[in-house]
Structure 1
Amino acid sequence: MERQKAVRWLGGTLAVAGLGTWGLSLPGLLLRPRVRRVEMGGIVTLEDAVAACERTGLRGWELVAYAQRLVARKFTAYSLRNPWDTPARAFERGMGFCLQYNPALQQLLRRLGVEARLVHAFRVRDVDNPRWKWGHAWLKVRVGGEERDVCAGHPDNTPGHTRFEPVTPVHELSPLAAALSRFGSGLFGGSLEWWTVLTGRRPGLTFAPRSAVSISGLAGPEAAPVVPGRAHRTMRRLLGGLCFLSGVTASWGGVELFGWPEGGAPGFTVPLSVLEHTPFRDFFVPGLLLFSGVGIPNLVAGALALRRPRWSEVFAFGAGSSLTVWIVTEMAMLRSFHWLHGLYLAVGLGTQATALWLWRHEAPMTRHS
């Protein structure tokens, strides 16, 4: 029994942590530009970059400098909105931060036969802005017995000459530590994005194009506004309908559960035996959670979706996520499947997809109006 309780608590803790991570990441995921691949002179993947470097015929530090400039120019934007991308994937997308573009450069150099170590310092000083001090990761590259600092964070960097100075001890960064650091950076970036959502102020630390060139949506606020047409209006009505369907039925079901915790609501009798594999003894807490965590948010999201205030799609996406998580958790705890589970799982996923579609297609107008 004690072991079962420990497993349940561990599962609940992981579920809460997962939901918290997803919640923090939500604005960044929706704000992330729709860039799948960025091409630069025929170079898309790291394999393309390796071939391009080999064609130059360069050797030694000249080859390292060429690879560093190539990676620096391939990353057209500094971004904390895609921390889950691997270095290779971030290289293809052309956006990322130091724990993505420098590991991408490390992989490139190693394929070229050059020794490179990933290192980091908890604080570095920017030579162009001495007041700016933050954590940073870069490479220690060794060629012919000589080791130099190399960083793809700026095209003007050269091997041995970077635009920053470490002010705390430098340590080597293992792949596991780099992955955990990317995870932490994602949470940090997500908290900054939520700051933007709640205050309307752009912190300027989560996404910044490195050039004025518009590449598949990286143009920023200057992008032409999109005027909603018939398809947009239809999708918005669909979003409102899905949210209201979830909100009304979840609110009513929640009231029946916590109002009659023994499962004896008029016309809605549920035996307590279905809770055998859950931590609940009656339906009071599940009903309260269903009412407050799924029903009310979806009702509010439905109203917001029809009134079209800023960020209504974000709230609707979150409400749809709450329904999806509820259904998946319910099926796991009850260890059973009912056709209503499939129906409402489809409603939750449909709400998320519709909100994301509206965000993508109306974002220039709603965010920059």
Structure 2
Amino acid sequence: MTCRNPSRWWLVPAALGAAAATVLPVLAAVPPARPRLPDGVDTLDDAIASCRASGLEGWELVEHARILVHRKYSQYTIVTLWENAPSSFRNSRGYSSQYNGALALLLEALGFEVERVFATRVRSGATPEPWWRTAHSWVRVTHGGRTRDVCAFDRSAPAGEVSFVPLTEVRSFGKRTRRNTRIGMTPFIYARAWRSLLTGQPLPRWLVRPFGELVEEPAESGS
């Protein structure tokens, strides 16, 4: 492929260099992956085999899979947006699209009817977060004529008793929505992460924190 304007060939490497200069320092500030191996489970394939070997069926199997995903994750983070659900699961870190995406893949492999859904705003027990961080995605499972909401974040909230309330319409969470969500979140995430780097402060807990813990610090507006 030839460049339409050879005099501007330098724009491409310049843009790539600027992107790297923006992203790499932020990634370096992210705590390293801390993989967990509950019951020896490392990958999603391991999780599928472990669930099948449990001998459980129906909603008991759904709950077993949900708890396994919860136990697998060590970090909640929205900085590692590039990881797909299997990679997120193996590295034991991620946000709702990743950890509940892993749960969806696990339940589908176990033969359940699964739909990934999201709401652009939810209310939970956490301290209010920045306005753009109030979206959440989770899983809806249908079995035995019943459909229940399922989320891996809160260990104490079983299928049908999730610990959040959607404040906006619940919609299907398809590939296009997942892509657009990542694109929309990126500027806010990296702008706030750079603020931490420049001020010498740790990354805020709504960016990185131990998995399953709520946000306890004051919310930040306009960040």
In structure 1, the partner of 2:23 is 25
Give the paired residue count.
Answer: 207
Q: Distance in 2 between matches of 1:174 and 1:117?
A: 9
Match of 1:114 among 88, 112, 115: 112
Identify if the C-alpha distance between structure 1 residues 31 and 131 changes in structure 2 by more than 3 Å, giving closer, same or farther: closer
Conserved in 2, the CA contact under 8 Å of 1:26 and 1:190? no
In the TM superposition, residue 15 of structure 1 has moved relative to its aligned partner by 6.5
Which residue is 1:142 aligned to?
A: 142
For residues 41 and 81 of structure 1, the distance between their equivalents in structure 2, rounded to whole angstroms, comes to 27
Q: Which residue of 1 aligns with 2:201?
A: 201
Is the CA contact (8 Å cut-off) linking 1:36 and 1:92 kept in structure 2? no
Find the counterpart in structure 2 of residue 210 from structure 1: 211
**Equivalent pair of 1:80/1:96 in contact (CA under 8 Å):** yes
Counterparts of 1:44 and 1:181 in 2: how far apart (Å)? 27
Aligned sequence identity (%): 33
Counterpart residue type for residue 43 of structure 1: V
Provide the TM-score with structure 2 as the length reference: 0.81
Task: Work out whether residues 40 and 74 of structure 1, in 8 Å CA contact, stay in contact via their aligned partners in 2.
Answer: yes
How far off is 1:138 after superposition? 0.7
* Root mean square deviation of aligned Cα: 2.7
User: By percentage of residues, which structure has more helix?
Assistant: 1
CA–CA separation in structure 2 for the residues paired with 1:12 and 1:188: 25
Check 1:100–1:19 CA distance in 2 against 1; reply closer, same or farther (3 A cut).
farther
Q: 2: CA distance between counterparts of 1:157 and 1:147?
A: 16
Q: Counterparts of 1:301-320 in structure 2 under 5 Å?
A: none
Using the alignment, how far apart are the partners of 1:11 and 1:167 within structure 2?
Answer: 47
Partner of 1:326: none
2:55 alignment counterpart: 57
Q: Secondary structure at the match of 1:125?
A: strand
Deviation at 1:45, TM superposition (A): 0.3
Alignment partners' CA distance in 2, 1:117 and 1:14: 41
Residue aligning to 1:40? 38
Alignment of 1:56-75 (within 5 A): 56-75=54-73
Provide closer, same or farther for how the CA distance between residues 184 and 124 of structure 1 changes in structure 2, counting only shifts above 3 A: same
Distance 2:176 2:161 in 1: 28
| Partner Cα distance (2:118, 2:210) in 1 | 24
Structure 1 Cα separation of the partners of residues 143 and 176 of structure 2: 26
- SS of residue matched to 1:106: helix
Q: Matches of residues 11-22 of structure 1 in structure 2 within 5 Å?
A: 12=11, 16=15, 18-19=16-17, 21-22=19-20
Q: Offset of 1:89 from its aligned partner?
A: 0.6
Task: State the partner residue of 2:218.
Answer: none
Mark the CA change 1:191 to 1:116 in structure 2 (over 3 Å): closer, same or farther. Answer: same
Gaps of 5+ in 1: 213-369
Amino acid at match of 1:209: P
Local SS of the residue matching 1:4: coil
Q: Does 1:164 align with 2:174?
A: no
Given that residues 21 and 187 in structure 1 are in contact (C-alpha distance below 8 angstroms), is that contact kept between their aligned partners in structure 2? Answer: no
User: 1:176 Cα shift?
Assistant: 3.0
Aligned to 1:189: 189
Change in 2 beyond 3 A, CA 1:15/1:142? farther
Counterpart in 2 of 1:81? 79
Larger Rg: 1
Which fold has the larger relative contact order, with Cα–Cα distance below 8 Å and residues 6 or more apart in sequence? 2
Partners of 2:10 and 2:95 lie apart in 1 by: 32
C-alpha distance in structure 2 between counterparts of 1:28 and 1:186, whole Å: 12
- Report the Cα distance in structure 1 between the residues aligned to 2:68 and 2:34, rounded to whole angstroms: 19
> Are 2:116 and 2:138, in contact at CA under 8 Å, matched by a contact in 1?
yes
Query: How far apart, in 1, do the equivalents of 2:114 and 2:9 lie?
Result: 39
User: In structure 2, how many angstroms separate the alpha carbons of the residues matched to 1:166 and 1:44?
Assistant: 32
Give the structure 1 partner of residue 176 of structure 2.
176
2:81 & 2:9 partners in 1: Cα distance?
A: 26
Shift in Å at residue 211 of structure 1? 7.6
Is contact 1:138–1:151 with CA below 8 Å preserved after alignment?
yes
Tell me, in whole angstroms, the C-alpha distance in 1 between the residues paired with 2:165 and 2:99. Answer: 18
Q: Is the partner of 2:120 in helix, strand or coil?
A: strand
Measured after TM superposition, the shift of residue 12 of structure 1 is 4.5
Structure 2 unmatched ranges of 5 or more: 214-223
Contact 2:35 2:92 in 1 (8 A): yes
Per the alignment, do residues 109 and 204 of structure 1 end up closer, same or farther by CA in structure 2, a change over 3 Å counting?
Answer: same
